[in-house]
Amino acid sequence: MLPDFLLLFIVLAPGLAALVAGLFQKYVTDNGAMIITTGTVGLAGILSVIQLFMFAFGGHAPDAVLTAAPADGGHGGGPVHAVHHVITLFTWIDVGQFQADWAIRVDALSIVMMAVITGVSGLVHLYSWGYMSEDPHRARFFSYLSLFTFMMLMLVTADNFIQLFFGWEGVGLASYLLIGFWYHNKAPNDAAIKAFVTNRVGDFGLALGIMAVFVVFGSVEFEPVLNAIKENASVTPLALAEAAPVRELVIPFLAYDVPALELIGVLLFIGAMGKSAQFFLHVWLPDAMEGPTPVSALIHAATMVTAGVYLVCLMSPIYEYAPVAAGMVTLIGAVTALYAATVGLAQNDIKRVIAYSTCSQLGYMFFAAGIGAYQAAMFHLFTHAFFKALLFLGAGSVIHGMHHEQDMRRMGGVAKFMPYTYAAMMIGTIAIIGLGLPHTQLGFAGFFSKDAILETAFAAGENGVTFGQLAFWFGILAALLTSFYSWRLIYMTFHGPREDSIPPEVHEVDSHADDHLAQDEHGHQHDHHEDPHESPLVMLVPLGLLSLGAIFAGLIFYGSFVGHHQADFWAGAIYTTGDNHLLEEKYNVPEWVFWAPLMVTITGFLIATFTYLFNRGFGRRIAESGGPLHSLFANKWYFDEIYNATFVRGTHWLGGFLWKTGDKRIIDGLGPDGITSLVQRSSKRLSAMHTGYLYHYAFVIIGAALVFGAVIFWRVGGAG
């Protein structure tokens, strides 16, 4: 690990840079803001990447904190503490047992995440010099980018749940601000709110999960909580139940008695579902593409959306002893992997294809974590960051070169205008489909990580892990679809003749009219007949560096992440039980399992090649024939429509009902207004009686006397 002052620099400097660029933009100017933020984050990136290499290959002598991290996890219930280093800054919250510090905690997981975050962020900063060169609000943009980087670093270096939550919601804020960066338009604003609110739904679960952690363990700090699970320590849940060893502890939640670890596992995972756009809570991610493309690459592909995966891996001790919660992670992950891939088949917006691809790949990571192969999940997170950032930045380069065209139906033949971008996109595509030769070291980054996931999933299925088999088959099927839609993207965009004849009305995404307005404001002349141009060097350099990662990251780090050195590398940061040997068993799966991913990948490639390259227009004809399956995929399985009809409309209606009927009619009606009008009405009636005519009064008096007399007479008579 790096010395303290460098760790502090990596985490805090981007935050400071964001402050300077944001608050003093008048004084530092756009260029100043760009230099400050890019320089800081770039330096942090270099340091973090060095740290990762040092950690993976320089050896980290097990220090005092490390008791054991055996390769087979053979200690079972024994204490296996993570190698970690904590710099405590100052106390944040100190109320009774509720103790949370501002701290920087570095372990193997954070080292990986720090390298991914600052590395990709540095490149995205640089890339944005070119991409955002015509935007009038560059200082604000770079300030937000650095703010995001800072928040994400706070998330992965937290030593307690509360700081994690700070980073978690902080990246949500940065994401909200960046999706809605072009705030004068409707679509980005809608998308930004949708992202924030959907994430809040997830955070509802995460917050309850953190409360449950506190109540069960009497602490919100990672070390005591995770160690208690590893040691199966006896805990006394505050006011909820009797003391018991934590793995057997049952606590009441709502109307049920549930195992404490299952409850915490499920609640935390709901948070992860929101942040990582998993099935049911995925709806915000495609819309988030309204943000500038560098943002999509950094936040909505490489880093923020992987925070959920990070959380599940960090909480590996919980999921190891919570089979139901882990089963839920596997199921949701597997379903998302397949679901998002089907939707990706039928999208025409280049960014949305990649967005659904991200969603699908996150699904792979989750089901890997769910079956217990956390290392494989982290490995895919790591390699995915390279090739997905590469694909997004490549797509951004195309969009930039095509004068802000995003509809692939209006592209085609771009390769000859943008050879470098084309090369980068090819590398990204080969990496994401996971091309590589089994049993050899020949393959792109995605090959190593995706195959590790599929092999462990198969092994898990053989072991009877919940949903393991399903995850394997969904994964294989999704790999087929991934290959198809990835090549479809390449062919539609880069090959064939240029197709700019389709009038804008055909655009299925209604937001484009707004977009054009926006870009026109930015000084773009919106002319589709202008030839595409290759992007400037400042955009191509990040593409080149990411390409290197997309090619070699898997090969270089396979041994450390999931290979024979994995136990040394993770050094206890990921915990597995004594029965979990998935990483060894993945070498012993049947021969066909090694070859299956390659086979489906080639199949997908061939189908795409025949339908989109050799028979160009075949795919479009299928789309236009509009079968039910195509409509289902193209409309994202109607999730938006269903949510609109239920949650959005429902909330709207309920709010109105409670206001107009609840507050006005019932509460005010019976309360103050009711009393007022009652008083007024009775006083009116009283005054109406005061007519002033003597005979009226006389009549009343006589009448009353008669009635009283009658009553008295009757009572007396009754007595007598």
Partner 1 sequence: MGNFPILTAVTFLPLAGAVLIMLVRAMTGSQESDVASGNKALTAGLIFSVATFLASLVMLASFDIGAPGYQLVEEVSWFANVQYKLGVDGLSLLLILLTTLLTPLSLIASFGSVKERLTEYTIAFLVLETFMIGVFCALDMVLFYVFFEAGLIPMFIIIGVWGGADRIYASYKFFLYTLLGSLFMLAAVVFMYLQAGTSDIAQLETFAFAPEVQTWLWLAFFASFAVKLPMWPVHTWLPDAHVQAPTAGSVILAGILLKMGGYGFLRFSLPMFPDASELFQPFMFVLSVVAIVYASLVAFRQTDMKKLIAYSSVAHMGFVTLGIFSFTEVGVQGAIFQMISHGLISGALFLIVGVVYDRMHTREIAAYGGLVHRMPVYAAMFMLFSMANVGLPGTSGFVGEILTMTGAFQASTWAAAGAALGVIFSAVYMLTLYRRTVFGQITNPDLEGIKDVDLKEIITLAPLIIGTILLGIAPNIVFNITRESSLRALQMITGG
Interface contacts to partner 1, rule CB under 8 A: 90-98, 102, 162, 165-166, 168-170, 173, 176, 180, 183-186, 189, 192-193, 196-197, 200-201, 203-204, 207-208, 210-212, 214-215, 238-240, 252-254, 651-652, 654-656, 658-659, 662-663, 667-668, 671-672, 675
- 147 or 337: whose CB is closer to partner 1? 147
Q: Are 194 and 291 in contact (CB under 8 A)?
A: no
Q: Is the dihedral of CA 708, 713, 716, 719 positive or negative?
A: negative
Nearest approach, Cβ of residue 512 and partner 1 (Å)? 17
Give the pair of three-digit tokens for residue 105. Answer: 């905690």
Nearest approach, Cβ of residue 101 and partner 1 (Å)? 10
Give the pair of three-digit tokens for residue 562. Answer: 């999931």
- 90 or 614: whose CB is closer to partner 1? 90
- 199 or 601: whose CB is closer to partner 1? 199
499 Cβ partners below 8 Å, 6+ apart?
409, 410, 411, 412, 413
- 161 or 310: whose CB is closer to partner 1? 161
DSSP β-ladder status, 250-253 and 256-259 = antiparallel
The alpha carbon torsion through 715, 718, 719, 720 (nearest 10 deg) reads 120
- 260 or 334: whose CB is closer to partner 1? 260
Cβ burial 474-502 (10 Å sphere, 16+ → b, else e): bbbbbbbbbbbbbbbbbbbbbbbebbbee
| Residue type at position 404 | H
Nearest approach, Cβ of residue 238 and partner 1 (Å)? 5
- 679 or 711: whose CB is closer to partner 1? 679
- 638 or 657: whose CB is closer to partner 1? 657
- 564 or 649: whose CB is closer to partner 1? 649
690 Cβ partners below 8 Å, 6+ apart?
none
The residue with tokens 């930004």 is: 192
- 210 or 414: whose CB is closer to partner 1? 210
The residue with tokens 């006394």 is: 236
Cα–Cα dist 49/556, whole Å: 13
- 186 or 533: whose CB is closer to partner 1? 186
The residue with tokens 């939640």 is: 253
Query: Burial, 173: exposed, middle or buried (Cβ in 10 Å; 0-12, 13-18, 19+)?
Result: middle
Nearest approach, Cβ of residue 524 and partner 1 (Å)? 18
The alpha carbon torsion through 651, 652, 655, 661 (nearest 10 deg) reads -120
Cα–Cα dist 378/367, whole Å: 12
Cα–Cα dist 275/165, whole Å: 12
**Cα atoms in the 13 Å half-sphere on the side-chain side of 557:** 30
Nearest approach, Cβ of residue 256 and partner 1 (Å)? 9
- 502 or 667: whose CB is closer to partner 1? 667
678 Cβ partners below 8 Å, 6+ apart?
none
- 206 or 385: whose CB is closer to partner 1? 206
Nearest approach, Cβ of residue 711 and partner 1 (Å)? 37
Give the pair of three-digit tokens for residue 286. Answer: 């495609």
Nearest approach, Cβ of residue 113 and partner 1 (Å)? 19
**Cα atoms in the 13 Å half-sphere on the side-chain side of 664:** 6
Q: Are 278 and 267 in contact (CB under 8 A)?
A: no
- Helix (H) or strand (E) holding 356, with range, is helix 350-371
Nearest approach, Cβ of residue 616 and partner 1 (Å)? 40
- 130 or 218: whose CB is closer to partner 1? 218
Cα–Cα dist 202/307, whole Å: 12
